Amino acid sequence: MSGALSGADWLAQAIASAGVRDVFFIDAVLRRTLIALEGLGVRRHLAHSEKGVVYMADGYARIANTPTFCFAQSVGAANLAAALQDAYLARVPLVAMTGRKPASMQHANAYQEIPHAPLFAAVTKFVADVPNAADLPRLLRQALRASGSGTPRPVHLDLGGVQAEIVETGSVNEPPLLAAGLMQVPPHRPQPDPVEIDAAARALLAAKRVVIVAGDGALQSGAGAEVLALAEALQAPIATSLGARALVPTRHPLCVGVVGNYAAPPANQVVHGADLVLFVGCDAGDQVTHTWRIPARDTAIVQIDLDPEEIGRCYPNTSGICADPRAALTALIAAIGTPARDRGFAAQAATLMAQWRRAMAPKFASMAQPIRVERLCAEIERALPDDAILVADTGYSGIWTGTCIEMTRGQTYLRAAGSLGWSFPASLGAKLAAGDRKVVCFSGDGAFYYHLAELETARRRGIATVTVINNNSGFGQCQAGIERLQGNTAGHAEELYRFGPTDFAAIARSFGVEGIRVTDPSDIATALRRALAMNAPVLIDVVTDIAPRAPEPWLPEGS
């Protein structure tokens, strides 16, 4: 076939021509493609598990804001699919590729083979079989189109051959090019309907107490400046989802922090006190609304979202603007102008935030040993460079960092959408996308156990992250609930949440990674300065107290 390329060469050249700099994989799959990618200048990152592969790609995609590729062979498909849950929930565009045995071997007890489609159905927005090389261009383009458009999410291509060798050795007779825009998120920025803008502007101006709740969609749209400008025009406090923590500077007088069930108390009080809430690129799910109690179900809502299916999904009294969040906010700012607004509600919100920070100040300065987590958070905040990326795990790691570490303009915050252990491999991917920007990972010890083998990957690939372990020898978030259930019943409740103690600094050194152990709070700052100054992976193991509880979210009385 004149001008034909092998499937491996076509895929490698298409990936490289689209500007992809990094791919993530675990052997054995797409070996021919990976060999060809090296010659095209694309970096290949081998991890130690399929979950590590996906989490690295996930962190990378969140910083690069582009669909990111991850590969696994047929027997690893179930593990790869399980890892996509976090990217799906966090609306991250990943392109997952697996090998599969050919159709002639299906439903015949083939070794290590199970149907892949059901595994990926719940964690992707597009799934396709690619039996032959000739099918690859059409289906890859459609996968990329689906991954980045609307609500971004992972997609899955199941390639013929247990190592994808059927696709790799077949022929493709078309140029190895992907359409312009397929690697952008969002690929299109739909403009708002002027009728919807006019209706929203009138509703916002008529309301006395407006709150803006901005989510991950606002972050992906790059709408931070517009959120702040609209808030200042309306004198509207700004709350965010945890994922959008750094969308605006968190010490801005109008910012009240993360809202919902990972919130410090003032945020929920302020949002609940609004007579209209503007959701911007935020899905209004149970976490950001504390199970639809913040705001109350009958509150008037205006919702801006690129995906029309999200508008009004969770709150009945919703009017919507279906558009790119940044484009919609730009139009709203123009429509609203510079109205005279009562500053009382915004002033009340600022007062609540100031009172809460004063109440927390003694904990931020605590000299207690074992170390209080609030003190650790305060030291991280002081140490973070102006353009730093902070990557936090789920549960208490998200609550501690989302309430106790303030973020400035230029900094970025990434959080797990629910998968314990996500943060460390995700931070490695984030650093690969971030260039010279410093990346700090905040992980509990329970989370870090999941993927500590990726310390070897960090050393081998020279990925210079700073990993801070909140090491309290247990699942701190679980302690109170377990002991409450145990009550006066004889037994050993600690067996359900305690483990260790483990010296993670020593483990890091055994992998060839610099490890620093901290037991005195006065040594945290020195350890962070030293780690951030190094151009190599560093782990700081901080021995903390399991007893302190993370800030509790406020709820209205009787709810």
Segment 127-131 long-range contacts (CB within 8 Å, at least 24 positions apart): 127/155, 127/156, 127/157, 127/158, 128/156, 128/157, 128/158, 129/100, 129/158, 129/160, 130/157, 130/158, 130/159, 130/160, 130/167, 131/102, 131/103, 131/160, 131/166, 131/167
**Is the Cβ–Cβ distance between 47 and 454 less than 8 Å?**
yes
Q: How far apart are CA 415 and CA 87, in angstroms?
A: 11
Say whether both 297 and 372 belong to one domain.
Answer: no
Say whether both 201 and 78 belong to one domain.
Answer: no
Give the tokens for residue 145: 């189109």
Check the CA dihedral 41-47-53-59 and report its sign. negative
177 in any annotated domain: no
What distance lies between CA 377 and its chain's CA centroid? 19
558 in any annotated domain: no
Whether cis (ω within 30° of 0) applies to the bond prior to 118 is: no
Total domains present in the chain: 3
CATH of the domain at 289: 3.40.50.1220
Residues of the chain with pLDDT under 50: 1
Say whether both 252 and 153 belong to one domain.
Answer: no
Backbone angles phi, psi at 392, to 5 degrees: -120, 145
**Is the Cβ–Cβ distance between 210 and 278 less than 8 Å?**
yes
Say whether both 116 and 216 belong to one domain.
Answer: no
pTM: 0.96
Strands 155-160 and 22-25, by their bridges, are unpaired
pLDDT value at position 2?
A: 52
31 in any annotated domain: yes
Q: How far apart are CA 265 and CA 397, in angstroms?
A: 17
**Is the Cβ–Cβ distance between 330 and 306 less than 8 Å?**
no
Whether cis (ω within 30° of 0) applies to the bond prior to 192 is: no
Q: What DSSP assignment string belongs to 470-505?
A: EE-SB-HHHHHHHHHHHTTSSS-GGGGTB-----HH
- Tens of pLDDT, residue by residue over 288-304, are 999 999 999 999 999 99
Give the tokens for residue 365: 């300065």
Say whether both 517 and 378 belong to one domain.
Answer: yes
382 in any annotated domain: yes
Structural domain including 86 reads 5-172
Which amino acid, 408? T
Say whether both 128 and 225 belong to one domain.
Answer: no
Give the tokens for residue 174: 């078309």
Say whether both 306 and 394 belong to one domain.
Answer: no
70 in any annotated domain: yes
Burial zone of 193 (CB within 10 Å; 0-12 exposed, 13-18 middle, 19+ buried): middle
Say whether both 426 and 523 belong to one domain.
Answer: yes
Short-list 54, 167, 158, 50, CA closest to 99: 158
Say whether both 231 and 120 belong to one domain.
Answer: no
Give the tokens for residue 482: 């377990």
Which amino acid, 539? L
- Residue finishing a domain among 142, 172, 202: 172
**Is the Cβ–Cβ distance between 424 and 448 less than 8 Å?**
yes
Which amino acid, 93? P
Say whether both 129 and 163 belong to one domain.
Answer: yes
> In Å, how far are 289, 311, 551 from 261, measured between CA atoms?
7, 22, 10
pLDDT value at position 104?
A: 86
Burial zone of 312 (CB within 10 Å; 0-12 exposed, 13-18 middle, 19+ buried): middle
Q: How far apart are CA 545 and CA 518, in angstroms?
A: 13
What distance lies between CA 41 and its chain's CA centroid? 27
**CA dihedral of 40, 46, 49, 51, whole degrees rounded to 10:** -50
203 in any annotated domain: yes
181 in any annotated domain: no
Give the tokens for residue 266: 């003032």
CATH of the domain at 95: 3.40.50.970
358 in any annotated domain: no
Say whether both 395 and 496 belong to one domain.
Answer: yes
- Tens of pLDDT, residue by residue over 391-442, are 999 999 999 999 999 999 999 999 999 999 999 999 999 999 999 999 999 9
SS3 152: coil
Check the CA dihedral 226-230-233-237 and report its sign. negative
> In Å, how far are 70, 109, 307 from 530, measured between CA atoms?
33, 55, 45
SS3 108: coil
Burial zone of 179 (CB within 10 Å; 0-12 exposed, 13-18 middle, 19+ buried): exposed
| Contacting residues for 525 by C-beta, under 8 A, at least 6 apart | 379, 382, 383
Say whether both 209 and 328 belong to one domain.
Answer: yes
Q: How far apart are CA 167 and CA 148, in angstroms?
A: 24
Q: How far apart are CA 473 and CA 31, in angstroms?
A: 41
- Residue finishing a domain among 348, 377, 392: 348
pLDDT value at position 1?
A: 43
Short-list 456, 554, 466, 469, CA closest to 512: 456
